[in-house]
Structure 1
Amino acid sequence: MATMTIKGKEMRSVEVDWNEFYYTNCPLISPSNVDQEIGWVKEELKKIGVAYKYLRSTVENDWYPHYVHNLDNLMRYGGCGPAIHTQADIRRTKLIGTTHVYEGGCMLVRSRDDIYRMTDLKGKRIGLSRSMNVIKNDWWRFQEEQGIELMLRMNGMTRDDVEIVDFPYPDDWYDKPEMLTPMENPSELWLKRDIKHDLGFRPLEMPLLEGKIDAIYTQSKVFQHLQEQTSKVKAIENLANYPDWTLQGANVPATMTVSDVACQEHPEIIVAMMKAMIKVGRWSNEHKHAAAVILNKGTYYLDAEDTYNGIKHVDMVPTLSPYNLEALQINKDFMLSHGYIENDFDVFEWAAPEFLEKAAAELAAEEWEIKESLKNSPILA
């Protein structure tokens, strides 16, 4: 077992064995979250003699590689906050793919309050959560703060017009014994935690309903529809309604990252993984309803149909487009300016498109070879 200490906390992981490669997913929209059910990456890696495993499939790994990437043979696909934090302050990684899906964020208030627009919040209290877990990036707070500031600005207001109220919460489920038993698949986590109703993922909802604050940030569509269906809250502002794409943050684009060590020592693993991710993404694009049913198991949309409506215009094939990279740069700059990371870096230099490009070229060549072989196959008597 390998160990690593960050801020006095000892984290554990398996010793690196390049005959196996681990993955970890955030509960959001990505081809990896579809693949965890259909297993095409596992098939592709098996061709080169590498076993593909979920991070928590072995007791030797705890949860923290998902946040600080303290495991060389690991791929993480998830929200951009932890990935940016890792690259800035903890260790070198490579950005090998992104998926952009969520829109901005909403401002929620109690449904029966006499509040209908942002200017009605002048002099009132807006909640801001604060994770007490000092090891991992406070990804929820960073997007709350970013979204709040943007919504205020779009309505001619500043932080001086409202009272920002801090709400610390333990954020300590990572070390609970029941959460440390091995799981073969990320979906098992959501069997242990009811993702659609677990308020551990919505730390400000109860303070709002209890009247301790007057408004909170939430993600557009994601979380929003779940919360509105309680009938207790309503949205008075939504950044997704603006044409300005630079307002569409919310801890995304989702980032696919691997260690620099893996890229240097075993690029063939990364290319094989990307070939499968391209295939999964294409399948998801062609079968959006089917993909939505899979993704609904591990996302915060209301249900499968709501998930479909959330992804129907999303390109599920990983990309490193300038649009997505600049969106990440915007989030990174906010995190730096507000103290969520200590060191700066260039997102465009972080990106490593060579693996995606090589995977796409190899996949195209393989598909062409299959088609040609079928054309030239002898007619069976």
Structure 2
Amino acid sequence: MTDETTTIWYTRCPVPTASGIALDTGRLAASLSAAGLAVAPIQQAGLDEAHFDHRLPALFREGGNVPALWARSRGERTRLVGLTWVPELQAIVTRPGTGVTGLDDLRGRRLILPTHGGERVDFFRAMALRGFEAALRHAGLSLDDVRLVDAPAPLPGTRDVGADGFYRATVTALHAGLGDVAYVKGAPGADVIARDGLVCLHDLTDTDDPRLQVNNGTPRTLTVSEDLLARRPDVVARYIGALRQAARWAATHPHDTARIVAAETGSTLAGVARAYGGALHHRLEPELVPEWIDHLDDQKRFLLRHGVIPRDFEIGEWIDPGPLAASDAYLSPETTEVIS
């Protein structure tokens, strides 16, 4: 990137994010336009894979932590500048008639891991594996007590949303009898449970221990290209300020927030309500909470242990808290205080 760069690239997962709110309300474009900059999605550059590998200069990414950790582990020059924690449905499900009625029945059962193979990080497989491990631990069991079954799944695309975009392969495998139990999450997961008549055995959001909720979406990561941060820290701070402004707007607009999140995830409003609860609109502002950082480090160790990411690295060295602090300068006076 050069200092003459006028386009800032963005990508976000189809999940609840401040980025989605800032884009829908026009706050991100307006903030960057005031600095003579344009903001555009990676699809406009024809570089969809940057959503996963972050190989695009002047790029911001907000979304699941598995691809972000994977990219950093592979040596991509990114910095972590914010985190969010949105408690969401993480359901262990079965189809009717399996005889599985609770977590205690999982011993010896076949648990479905959607698997696409290939060189790109298999984050759906990693999510299911982490969800299963947490649920089994809650029941006093471990992965050694069950059978893990890889089920073929297509390579996810950046435009995949909704119940089918997320869980078609998983539900197909479940109904075909390839396995007895599956993992679904978020609003698409809530919709697929309702639509396909699945039985929810356990929702990890109902556990009091947040460590059992750690997964790809908890916490979510906000990352930025290291080159952009080095050359234009003001732009990075401005961008984060726009996200924080949007998140604070969301905190006073719960119905609009739910509508935007439904569109972002390709889900129903009922699915959004079931998956994220009544406090969703208060959960979207990027922060760097020490407890969340510890949970992200735990997630990194899990991914290393299971071979999802290739190399270890220090989470603390990845984080740059400067841009989040500097973003205070880009908040409007009426939203300088945290909205509660």
Confirm or deny a common fold (TM above 0.5).
yes
| CA shift digits 1:36-94 (9 cap, x unpaired) | 21121111111111111111124xx2211111111111111111000001111131211
Q: Is the 8 A contact 2:167 2:189 kept in 1?
A: no
Structure 2's unaligned 5+ residue stretches are 335-340
Q: Does 1:140 align with 2:124?
A: yes
Equivalent in the alignment of 2:337: none
Equivalent in the alignment of 1:323: 291
Equivalent in the alignment of 2:305: 337
Match of 1:62 among 40, 47, 53: 47
Alignment of 1:57-206 (within 5 A): 57-58=44-45, 61-103=46-88, 105-134=90-119, 136-171=120-155, 189=159, 195-199=161-165, 201-206=167-172
The one-letter amino acid paired with 2:240 is M
Q: 2:251 aligns to what SS in structure 1?
A: helix
Distance in 2, matches of 1:19 and 1:267, equals: 14
The one-letter amino acid paired with 1:63 is D
Distance in 1, matches of 2:31 and 2:322, equals: 18
Equivalent in the alignment of 2:261: 295
Equivalent in the alignment of 1:351: 319
Q: Is the 8 A contact 1:288 1:308 kept in 2?
A: no
The one-letter amino acid paired with 2:233 is P
What TM-score comes out, normalization by structure 2 length? 0.90
Alpha carbon RMSD of aligned pairs, Å? Answer: 2.3
Q: Does 1:34 align with 2:21?
A: yes
Distance in 2, matches of 1:17 and 1:26, equals: 28
| CA shift digits 1:324-371 (9 cap, x unpaired) | 2122111111001111112112223322111111111x135x628xxx
Equivalent in the alignment of 1:46: 33
The one-letter amino acid paired with 1:216 is A
What TM-score comes out, normalization by structure 1 length? 0.81
Q: 1:317 aligns to what SS in structure 2?
A: coil
CA displacement at 1:199 relative to structure 2? 4.8
Q: Is the 8 A contact 2:23 2:29 kept in 1?
A: no
Equivalent in the alignment of 1:213: 179
Distance in 2, matches of 1:29 and 1:98, equals: 12
Change (3 A) 1:206 1:222: same
